Structure 1
Amino acid sequence: MDEEEQDEQQKVLQNLLLLHELNSEVVTKRDAEKFLEALATKSSKRHSITLSSLLLNPFVGSACRSFGFLVSKARYVVSFLEDVVPAKDLGSGELLDAVEQHLANLRSKATPYYFNTLYDPHRADSVGFVRGYPFSLRLGVTTVMSHGLSLGLPDYDAPTAIVKPHERTQRYVDAVVTIPKGSLFPLSGSNVAFDRRLIGPCMLLRLGIGGQDSLFSGSSSSTSVDDVWAGLCAKVVADHLGFGVKTGVPYVWRGPDSSFSSNGAVAGALASLKTEFKPLLLLEDVVPFFQTLRLSKNATNAEDCYAEIARMVKGKLRGLDPSFERVAAVMETWADAWKAINSAV
């Protein structure tokens, strides 16, 4: 895909907002500063990490998106990274409406308790449930997240990008599945939508503070696993509260301007490996932590669940790496801000 095609598809993505009659508002860093200053004066709690240091320094990338998640009044939030554009249906060649497909996933039920072998039975064009699927489970549960996929440049970590520098994803599978209860997955923040009211508190995509990389952050969104952390939190909370998470369509296109381009792919991956090496090692212990994590019966909404996870991170992961204490502090700051904002709505 050449630059002209990418520019054209970027315009298509912007036009999708108009097509779906979605309101838009441009927020500057100064607007965000004023908002967070006002919020700080109302808060009765004081944290070692301020929301401003978390979201404003710098006010780019995942920090911008996280701020948008925090202050949005929308029920559903659809988020794309700046390096993706709408993908084309490989059969018809038509551009895919990623926004509409995300909304369709969120507005239909999920089936996390029993796997349906014919993909998503609640999709509009689905053939339904297979023989042997319990009728008591066919009503499904509320879907709180739609996790899209990508064509073109794969969303690889640095070691895999070094081994497969020229690999490209070309297979388009027109399908959606519910991720079973108890199964975790690596969320990619490049193409995701979620129910802000029911799972929004878990969607903090930036764990770094004061312009510094977090324990899980690399030098760019492609070398950070902060979004993976958010996905682990969200999936555990969704399982606990009885909600569902779907993955599959919609697809987006990740082009050659992404971090691991065909030109200098190995060199870029080697450079990224320096910042990504520690987070990848820590994930080997972090994933089992989330697999065995159990939330209390007192945690009845996403805000309480996220705050409870923060306390567990401080208590159980601090011994693995002292930086987890800072991760927990960031999570607590975010959880309190979420409660303060949404209690006033």
Structure 2
Amino acid sequence: MFPEVDPGEVDVVVVALEPDLTAFIDEWQPFISRFRVLIIQDPNLGAHKSLRVPPGLNHKIYTAADARGLLGNAAFAVSHVGYLVSDKRIVVILDSSCRPHRSSGSGDPVAQHLTNLLTPATPSYFNTLYDPYRSGVDFVRGYPFSLRGGVHCVLSSGLSEGQFVDAVITVPAGAMMVVPAVNIACDRRALGPALLPPFHVEAPLAEIWAGLCGKLVADHLGLGVKSGLPYVARSCTDIGPSSAVVSAAEAERAALEFFRTARLPRTAVVAADCVRLLAELVRERLGGVHPGFSLLADAMLAWLDFWNAVELSR
């Protein structure tokens, strides 16, 4: 059983990688028809190509021109245009290469994301076996009673490749993780601008930077992140931009050590402040290691400026 959620609190963002979305919508209609769907045109389609969307779907289209109007020449992935403009509490992000995974135990991928977000996470005490809040299961013997209430889960990161495992786990506090650009869901009001877009900049670890930052912020705020179900099948497997730079091993090691040891001040109690302070730390501690890290810090602050401008305009 999935927990009930008000459809008016959810947006589903779909990045259109091809002009005809008929086949995609036909497969996803049972899972997304309750919600508003924000369709973002991939700039690679070209401005002259209009999108074909079958009737009967509550949707809004953002063309490549709309995205440029919002972001200008900023080096952000278009998948986050929908996340940026959404005014809903929960945002689910897909692209048109995603298909429901036929062997997935959840059946409904969107409902599984919502379940992950609406049930607590347990980042303080790692349970390697299963999600203790799943119907019909309980905590393992010996799990501390004081931690069984869990914390608010703000990010659900589904999977798409590899062997299917019918499980959801909380990623432990302090652990680093990679977050894909699609098949994710987020509590937008809680994690906010800390769900960074993939940045198209030439820097070490640029393709996984968003996940490293988002997880660090979630840990700092005492919030939870889950991974596992739902699975989707994908015809397009690159989940983020690839840096054109061959990253120096020393720079990568320095960045990973930074994320392992970085601590934000206790005065940072909202996600926007965390992103700003984290960008400053990146520039201060990593800017001298590789110039690409300063570019990433600039991109983080630019994203935060866009976020604040959109929020203030509401």
Per the TM superposition, whether the score is higher than 0.5 is: yes
Name the TM tier (shorter chain). 0.7 to 0.9
The change in CA–CA distance for 1:52 and 1:109 in structure 2 (over 3 A counts) is: same
Q: Secondary structure at the match of 1:295?
A: coil
Q: Which amino acid aligns with 1:29?
A: A
TM-score by length of structure 1 reads 0.71
Kindly indicate whether the alpha-carbon contact (under 8 Å) linking 2:168 and 2:228 is maintained by their aligned counterparts in 1: yes
- SS at the partner of 1:323? helix
Matching of residues 109-124 of structure 1 within 5 Å = 109-123=120-134
Note the C-alpha offset of 1:63.
2.3
| Larger displacement relative to structure 2 (181-190 or 9-18) | 9-18
Structure 2 partner of 1:203: 195
Alignment partners' CA distance in 2, 1:78 and 1:250 = 12
- Return the offset for 1:234: 0.9
Letter in 2 for 1:12: E
1:277 is aligned, of 242, 246, 253, to 246
Which is helix-richer, 1 or 2? 1
Q: Per the alignment, do residues 259 and 273 of structure 1 end up closer, same or farther by CA in structure 2, a change over 3 Å counting?
A: closer
Question: Does the CA-based 8 Å contact 1:118-1:128 persist in structure 2?
Answer: no
1:333 to 287, 297, 302: 302
| Cα gap change, 1:29 to 1:254, in 2 (>3 Å) | closer
Partners in 2 of 1:121 and 1:146 — Cα distance? 16
Alpha-carbon spacing, 1:173–1:299, altered in 2? closer, same or farther (3 Å): same
**Larger strand percent:** 2
Quickly say closer, same or farther: Cα 1:190–1:276, change in 2 above 3 A.
farther
| Consecutive unaligned residues in structure 2, runs of 5 or more | 1-20, 38-57
Aligned to 1:221: none
Contact 1:84–1:253, Cα closer than 8 Å, also in 2: yes
Number of residue-to-residue matches in the alignment: 273
| Corresponding residue of 2:166 | 174
Of all paired residues, the percent bearing the same amino acid is: 40
Report deviation, 1:109. 0.5
| Residues in 1 aligned to 2:251 and 2:93: alpha-carbon distance in whole angstroms | 27
* Structure number with higher relative contact order (C-alpha < 8 Å, ≥ 6 residues apart): 1
Structure 2 residue 291 is the aligned partner of structure 1 residue 316: no
Letter in 2 for 1:104: T
> Does 1:132 pair with 2:142?
yes
Unaligned stretches of 5+ in structure 1? 1-5, 37-50, 56-61, 152-168, 217-224, 261-271
Computing the radius of gyration from Cα coordinates, the structure with the larger value is 1
Tell me, in whole angstroms, the C-alpha distance in 2 between the residues paired with 1:273 and 1:73.
30
Match of 1:294 in 2: 263
TM-score, normalised relative to structure 2: 0.77
Cα deviation for residue 244 of structure 1 reads 0.3
Cα distance change, pair 227–191 in 1 and its aligned pair in 2 (3 A): farther
**Contact 2:124 / 2:173 at 8 angstroms: preserved in 1?**
yes
Q: Are the counterparts in 2 of residues 80 and 191 from structure 1 also a CA contact under 8 Å? A: yes
Partner of 1:144: 154
Letter in 2 for 1:76: I
Contact 2:79/2:181, CA 8 A, preserved across alignment: no
Deviates more, 1:195-204 or 1:313-322: 195-204
Moved more, 241-250 or 199-208: 199-208
Conservation of the 8 A alpha-carbon contact between 2:181 and 2:198? no
